[in-house]
Each structure stands twice: as C-alpha cells, then as structure tokens.
Structure 1
C-alpha cells in the first residue's frame, strides 16, 4: 500500500532519520529468515552504518527501504505483530473509513478495522473535555521494534487524517510508553506539540473540533493518493482549518490584539501566523472587520445599547466612522438595520 510504504518519517534531503528505524526493519528481515542486503543496497545504506547508533539517513533512503521491505516481506507491519499484514492491508483501512461523514467517524472506523487485522496492539479514539485522544494499547511485547511500531502507527493515522480533511492537525501533546531514545531531538519534526516518554500508554491529544470536520476526499482521490502518497500524505500540512476559528475567538474577546499578541496566545511565531493566514486567504485586518461586523449586528439586533456605545465596543473612535463602515458591510445604516431586525422579530419601539 503506497500510503504506508511511501511514508518516510522525516522530510527533506538532509540525513536526519535515526538509523534505529532502519535497524528495526532489518530485525523484520531476520524474523522472517531473509537477507536485507539487497534492500539496503538499493536504498544506498551501507551495512556498516547500522553499527553506529548516532548515524542518520535521509527521508528518501527511509522511504526506499520501507517500500522494499514491505514488498519483499509481504508485511506492511514490518514484523511488529504475531502475524503478517499482507500488502494492501492499510489500503483497506483507508477505503473502509473513506465514506464516513466526518473525521471522528473515520478515525473510529480505522481503529475498529485495525483490530480485525491484529489485536497485538489496540488503537482507540476517545473524547473528553473537548480533547480527542488516540491511544495505543500494547498487548504483545514488541521488544526492539517497539519505538518504530508506536511512532509509525501514529504517523500513519495522523497523516491519513490530515489528508482526509485537507488540514493540518495541531497536536496538543504526544506521549510514548517507552524510554526516551538517544535521538529524541528528532521527535518535534515527527509530531507537533510537546513530546514525553515513559508514559503509562502511548497517546496523542488534539482539539476535538477537528473530529467534526467533514471529509473532503472520494474514491478517485484515494486512488491518486495511494499512487502518490509522498506528495499528499507525507509532506506536513501547513493549513489548519481551526486556526481562523481560534483567531476569531481571540479577537472576539479583545479586538485590540496585535499580531504579536495573537501569535503568543496561539503559541506560534508571528511569521508562522502570517504564513498560515496567507495560505487560508485571510488577513488579520479582515478577520478583525469580520468580528466587528458580527458583534455590531448582534448588538443592534439583540440589545438597546446606544449606537455610540456599540461603535466604541467594536473598536471605532466615533459613531460616524462606525456608521460608515457598517453601511459598507451590510448596505444600510445601523439605525435601519436595528429597525428592520426589530420588525422581523415582531418587536415594537
């Protein structure tokens, strides 16, 4: 399945992928009594590199090695489980969840159908206090393959979920039930949010609102993605559909926030904030105007506050400038809008 074997764990041409992940695949060859020499040669990974715990390979080498291993071993799980997951197993999971109405249902189906493939590990999706949690319960000692298995399964689910909704999913944190590895410095490139180790259970946490987003893919798109997964599921998504909602919420509480203050509240740099907004086709000023307009319309329709007060509360220096802006937004004056709103509601002055 291309979604899986074209899923390198790190990106770019720089050799930053830990050799530990390559060694985990070599262990799979040993498990099945097969020689990894050909795969290592085709991926241009010298065998002596396996002896250096600090060695790194490129994302391309990682992708080539995993693709060759999965096909040669006919096991998309690369030896993790008590039985092989034949070629196409994870493609089946994609198809089984593709018809879901939203991401939450899709991920629940993924977890449920993954259990049909193996019960050596159990993937689960739970929601509590507006936080979604994807957890991994290990029912079989994975030994030296443990880290690679946990990391890769989370990368599979996260990459596919982002592709389904065409949005980056910002993790709040990710925790792993194994000791902190010597190459822990690469984890921020694998997962957003804070990473911790030695947890009771491996899990990822993110805003549950992502689960409500509808799927934007169909069978034809899936077929294309399976052929070119490195372009559609591996490259990290930059667009985050909850970002604009978050900015609007902050501005609703305080219209005077600057870009620097917004970035700080959203836990990102100003440069990243502007880049995300550009990708979404918005500007801070545009979002401020949207919030001003919505607040003004709500106040005019639902309260008896003087227009001068509403002007001040929505960030205008005087009633005149507010009225001019409101007419540009809605096509009528605040007074006329209020009168029409009261009439529509059956109210009398």
Structure 2
C-alpha cells in the first residue's frame, strides 16, 4: 500500500468487460494506462487511483461515450465487491445495506468518503473526495451512483427510483442517459455527489434478508480492513476490547497487560493518536451494539452481556446516549414493515 488511494482490481475488470462488449481492445487500453492486464485477475489485487482514472479517460476517448460509467454498472456483480457484495444482498433493509456500504467501503476503494445522513423526510447518501486527495474520473462516480441505485432495485424491484441525484460533474451535452438510468431529477454541477432516498423505502423490511449470512461476510470484511490499514494502538485496543467484553468490562490495566505495555505507555500511545481508553471503549461498544441489534436472535439482555455491561438498564442508558433511542425503539425501527 502507498499513500495514493487504491481500488479493487475487480472494479476495473467491470470496465474491461464493458470495453470488450463494445469491441474495443481493453488489454491495450489497460497497458496504455499503466495497468498490467494479467494482474487485474488477482481477486485481491488493488490498482492505484491515478492509473484507473487514466483508464477511464482512455476508455471514454476510445468509445466516444461520455455516459460510459452508467453502462459499466451493468457489468458489476456481487463478487465485484467481494464479501461486501454478499453482505449487501443479505441486509434486511436499504438502511442496513447503506450503513454497511459506509462502514466497509474502504475494502473496495479508499478514494472517497461516504456519509449516510438521516433527515425528517429522507436519507441522503453522500460520496465525496477527501480533502487534498485526487478526484476519481467523473465516469467512475457515475458508475458508483448507478451501481447503488441498481442494488436498491435488486432488493425492492425494478420500479424503484431515488428521490433525487446530485452529481458534481458538469452537465453533459445530452443528459438523457443519466435521466434514463436514475429515473429521478438529476442535478449536475452540484455541491456534493448525493443520492436522496425515501424514508419509507429505506426503512422497509426486506423478506430476503439473512442476518447470519450478513454477519459471516462482515467478519471477512473486518479482516480485510485490518489488512488495509496499519495496526495503530487504537485499532489494537479495539480488537482487545471486542475479545474481552463478553467477560465483563475490561480495565485499561488489563488491556495494557494484554498488549504487553504499562498503563502509562498505553495512555501515552493513545494520546499521541488523539484518543483515550474510555473513548475507544464507548466507540467499540457502540459499533458492536449496532451489529448485534440487527440479529433478531440476539435479545437485548444478551447484547448487554456481550458488551460487558453489568445489567440491561446500564446498556439501555448507554445505547440511548449513542443513538438517541432506547434499544427497543431502535429494533422496532429495524423491524418496521
């Protein structure tokens, strides 16, 4: 890994399939962009953003089609996104699906920051370029937006459409392909790349959700994230907490001992990373709580036990502090038809 953002090679293979379908020499275009076509077959391979952006530029020039990204989305399958694709298929609502996209998108690409924001009338899914980072090709962002709208249609039916689509790219000479794909008002030259969805559709319970399968793939995604990011002291503490919480709330001293550190050294390392033990304990419990709440087999009292709380009422108070809702209210929202 370098400091440059990277993307899964399987994502680039979808573009190659589109180019081959158009009768273009995808291998030659890859080589011209500095990508080795044979290395793109590695399921865990990653491509530097600068080279995939160059490939998109060459692909648009060769095809003469500025809407190429929209069409490339049809060559994306669940395996393109590895375990994330299957976790999305197993999600029990669109809200749950997009929460997973936000949490695990770095497995697919670290070129964007994703944010899911809830408003009184809608959910807004933003995908933006991190400050100081290079921007992906506009066609790649088109494909990104189209893929996730297509994912919603796969779960709710072909008639599904977002409320609105905002894209930062300049308005094309012919916006009809974008309107045809999204079937919603499309705003070009926008301040943010954003998809807006109906609350009703986002919170609808999906009958084909499978919490057990989703959890299985989340474990694979967690391992992938660990491989992608350097082992900070914060990440090591989170891993210790996740392992030790079922035995009761671990003390900072106990975690320090597990990491072969003195308590003072642990505190100093965490301070250098801008955090502290109590913050990491709360963040880890919050993250695990949301995961466990999605599993209908797990009672609220069991979740309190798994998170190391002394009793259910202590867990309920903490959960309301994290989410603004009592655990029972949150679960009712997940199960709402």
The TM-score range, normalised by the shorter chain, is 0.3 to 0.5
Of the two, which has the highest radius of gyration? 1
TM-score (norm 1): 0.40
